[in-house]
């Protein structure tokens, strides 16, 4: 039993001595390495590399910030260009339709006239077909007719040319006749409908 305890303590003492010696050797090696690095001038080199790394990182951030700003400016300019292009396209369409409105009015007056039914049927049908083609082409560009007969008068879309006395209250503020059709382009008024409105 005594021998076993002696052997245990002896081994433990040897292990402690060995670990202590190892730590001392490591400290000496680290110290020698630091002195070796300093002797070779690596310390200054490492400092220079650190400074260079900082400069590169600052330059990278500067370029990244500039790129992000340029990207945002480009997106804003693209949106503004699209908006201006849309407005220019709308103005061009309106100008084109305004030039055609007198033609549409002439068709409407001819076909709404009392003598229209007396015209040769084949010729009449040909003219009506041409009119439908013209209206269809304009509709494909976004144009809509305002033909509000018997509807409630709305000053946003209708122009009251005349107020006509009516007996029935149900006819009050109603459109009794459309003298001239109005037109819209994508919900933007090109010309309001000219109408006669009932009043009590």
Q: Report pLDDT digits (tens) over 99-141.
A: 999 999 999 888 887 788 888 889 889 999 999 999 999 999 8
Least confident of 44-48, 66-70, 88-92: 44-48
pLDDT, position 126: 92
pLDDT, position 99: 92
Domain 143-200: which CATH class? mainly beta
Q: What would the pLDDT profile of 31-42 be if each residue is shown by its tens digit?
A: 455 555 555 556
Contact 183, 143 (CB under 8 A): yes
| Mean pLDDT in residue range 173-178 | 93
Strands in 12-131 per DSSP E: none
pLDDT at 1 exceeding the cut of 60: no
Report residue 14 as tokens: 């040897």
- Name which residue leads in pLDDT, 60 or 26: 60
Domain spans of the chain, in order of start: 143-200
Task: Give the C-alpha distances (Å, rounded to integers) separating 176 from 35, 146, 147.
Answer: 107, 14, 11
Q: What is the CA radius of gyration of the chain?
A: 47
Contact 75, 67 (CB under 8 A): no
| Centroid of chain to Cα 118 | 55
pLDDT bin (cut points 50, 70, 90) of residue 47 is: confident
Nearest to 190 by CA among 177, 178, 180, 198: 180
Task: Give the C-alpha distances (Å, rounded to integers) separating 71 from 22, 74, 144.
Answer: 59, 5, 40
What is the chain's mean pLDDT, rounded? Answer: 80
pLDDT, position 86: 85
């Amino acid at each position: 039993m005594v021998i076993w305890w002696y052997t245990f303590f002896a081994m433990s003492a040897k292990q402690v001595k060995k670990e202590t010696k190892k730590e001392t050797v490591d400290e000496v090696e680290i110290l020698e390495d630091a002195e070796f690095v300093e002797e070779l001038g690596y310390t200054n080199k490492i400092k220079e590399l650190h400074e260079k790394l900082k400069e590169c990182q600052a330059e990278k951030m500067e370029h990244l910030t500039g790129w992000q700003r340029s990207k945002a400016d480009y997106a804003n300019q693209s949106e503004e260009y699209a908006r201006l292009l849309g407005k220019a396209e709308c103005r061009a369409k309106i100008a084109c339709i305004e030039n055609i409105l007198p033609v549409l009015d002439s068709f409407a007056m001819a076909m709404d006239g009392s003598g229209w039914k007396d015209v040769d049927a084949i010729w009449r049908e040909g003219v009506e077909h041409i009119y439908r083609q013209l209206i269809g082409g304009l509709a494909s560009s976004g144009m809509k007719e305002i033909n509000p007969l018997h509807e409630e008068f709305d000053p946003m879309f209708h122009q009251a040319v005349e107020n006509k006395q009516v007996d029935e209250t149900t006819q009050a503020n109603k459109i009794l006749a459309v003298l001239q059709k109005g037109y819209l382009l994508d919900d933007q008024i090109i010309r309001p409908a000219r109408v006669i409105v009932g009043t009590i």
